[in-house]
Amino acid sequence: MKLEIDQQRLLAELETLASFSDAEPPAVTRIVFTATDLKARAWVISRCEEAGLTVRQDAIGNIFARWSGADPAAPAVGTGSHIDAIPNAGKYDGVVGVLGGLEAIRALKRSDFRPRNSLELLVFATEEPTRFGIGCLGSRLLSGTLSADAAGHLADRDGKSLDEVRKKAGLNGNLQGVKLPKGYYKAFLELHIEQGPLLERAQTSLGIVTRIAAPASLRISIEGAGGHAGGVLMPDRKDALCAAAELILAVENAARSSGAPDTVATVGVCEVFPGAVNSIPSRVHLTLDIRDTDQARRNDVMQEIERASQDLAARRQVSIQDELLNADAPADCAAEVRAALSDSCRQRGFSFLEMVSRAYHDSLFISRIAPTGMLFIPCRNGYSHRPDEYAAPGDMARGVLVLAEALARLSA
């Protein structure tokens, strides 16, 4: 099999996809089911059709593009990632796995390889939590991790439900039908940028993921008492933002004192009401993101945050309510998928690192229904979720080549 990756075409497609954005370049903002995202999705579908793949979408907007194998009834081998992007993001997160997965399939088609199992590109819907508060909605539904009813009722900031939004986007089917039948995939593989600095530091351009860390997130509402910034004296205050400040530091402290480098916690959203310079903040909304490779240790950190929050609520006489958005288990990558990747690396003489994914991915949920693996490529300085995210063309091409070979091994 002679495989050639069309690096120029991949780069050109990456630039085109980055142009579907609601931010000034080089930043990319592509929130799921906005007009911009819908245009990007239509463009990706057109690329898949142009490659001769058979495309279908499910009711939440997961896009499946299939190259039928010699045994079309056999379980498919899947690859893919997402194209939605958080506000002020870069061009590579998710996109490398979608356009790289498409180029891997095209390269296999151009070679003399013919798969026994069908090969399928999967573009997951709503991987980022920006719009509906929870990430990986497409893969949660595909794997049966989230019920159709709970998903349909999730709402965005404007109070529009996922059901309303997806139907407006022309996705009218029943969410119950999204769950994949047992044995749908023989194996699944996701190519992604590392989103951390380890590959670059090790001067290695490929990472084979062994385990995906366990994410959790919470929404916290702090209710104090507002009032005039001049008139209310300090002893009489119940300032919700001061309470939030203490809580944010308690979150940082809980993660730092877990004693493990794998424990991380972030408060990425802080909304202050009423948000006027001369008004005492009466209400604050925070969102917390807590992760660890060890689920029990992550849960201990969450309990520590809960204790700190109760303590400061009593001390500052504010009320603190929390809503658990998700608390997922970690995942182990499957030995056979890792072996397909490492066999290809060894045969090609490419060095690789075995590593943990500290970011979450749709693979976390697909691993519950199929043997799953992930292949990482470096991103400059480990930067991701920021406009200067960058992956070198040579690293992308090498990643796509190893992906293509692993797909061929798994589908032969």
- Give the C-alpha separation, 135 to 325, whole Å: 10
Instruction: Work out which of 92, 360, 365, 376 binds ligand GLV, going by CB under 6 A.
Output: 360
Q: Smallest distance, Å, CB 360 to ligand GLV?
A: 4
Distance, first Cα to last Cα, the chain: 12
- Give the C-alpha separation, 375 to 97, whole Å: 9
265 versus 312: smaller Cβ distance to ligand GLV: 265
Span interacting with Mn ion, options 3-11, 88-96, 205-213, 322-330, rule CB under 5 A: 88-96
Find which of ligand GLV, Mn ion, none residue 90 binds, CB within 5 to 8 Å per kind.
none
48 versus 89: smaller Cβ distance to ligand GLV: 89
58 lies in the site for ligand GLV, by CB under 6 A: no
Residue 147: exposure state from Cβ atoms within 10 A (0-12, 13-18, ≥19): middle
100 lies in the site for Mn ion, by CB under 5 A: no
Q: Smallest distance, Å, CB 383 to Mn ion?
A: 12
* Sole residue written with tokens 């931010």: 23
- Give the C-alpha separation, 339 to 208, whole Å: 9
125 versus 404: smaller Cβ distance to ligand GLV: 125
Instruction: Work out which of 37, 120, 128, 190 binds ligand GLV, going by CB under 6 A.
Output: 128
Find which of Mn ion, ligand GLV, none residue 37 binds, CB within 5 to 8 Å per kind.
none
* Sole residue written with tokens 């490492």: 342
Going from the C-alpha of 258 to that of each of 115, 146, 297, 305, the distances in angstroms are 47, 29, 7, 12
Q: Smallest distance, Å, CB 260 to ligand GLV?
A: 18
Say if CB 213 and CB 399 are below 8 A apart.
no
- Give the C-alpha separation, 407 to 397, whole Å: 15
CA 52 to chain centre: 27
359 lies in the site for ligand GLV, by CB under 6 A: yes
Count of residues that interact with ligand GLV, criterion CB under 6 A: 4
93 lies in the site for Mn ion, by CB under 5 A: yes
254 versus 267: smaller Cβ distance to Mn ion: 267
Find which of Mn ion, ligand GLV, none residue 101 binds, CB within 5 to 8 Å per kind.
none
Find which of ligand GLV, Mn ion, none residue 360 binds, CB within 5 to 8 Å per kind.
ligand GLV
Residue 2: exposure state from Cβ atoms within 10 A (0-12, 13-18, ≥19): exposed
Q: What are the tokens at 244?
A: 């939030």
166 versus 192: smaller Cβ distance to ligand GLV: 192
CB atoms within 10 A of CB 16: 14
Binding mask of the shown chain, residues 324 to 353, with x at each position contacting ligand GLV by CB under 6 A = ------------------------------
* Sole residue written with tokens 């063309």: 393
Site for Mn ion in 32-51 (CB under 5 A): none
Site for Mn ion in 341-400 (CB under 5 A): none
Q: Smallest distance, Å, CB 128 to Mn ion?
A: 5
Q: How many CA atoms lie within 13 A of 274 on its CB side?
A: 10
Going from the C-alpha of 57 to that of each of 61, 66, 79, 93, 169, the distances in angstroms are 6, 11, 15, 22, 12
Binding mask of the shown chain, residues 75 to 114, with x at each position contacting ligand GLV by CB under 6 A = ----------------------------------------
Say if CB 37 and CB 31 are below 8 A apart.
yes
94 lies in the site for Mn ion, by CB under 5 A: yes
CA 213 to chain centre: 12
Residue nearest to ligand GLV (CB): 359
Give me the residues that bind ligand GLV (CB under 6 A), please: 128, 135, 359-360
Give me the residues that bind Mn ion (CB under 5 A), please: 93-94
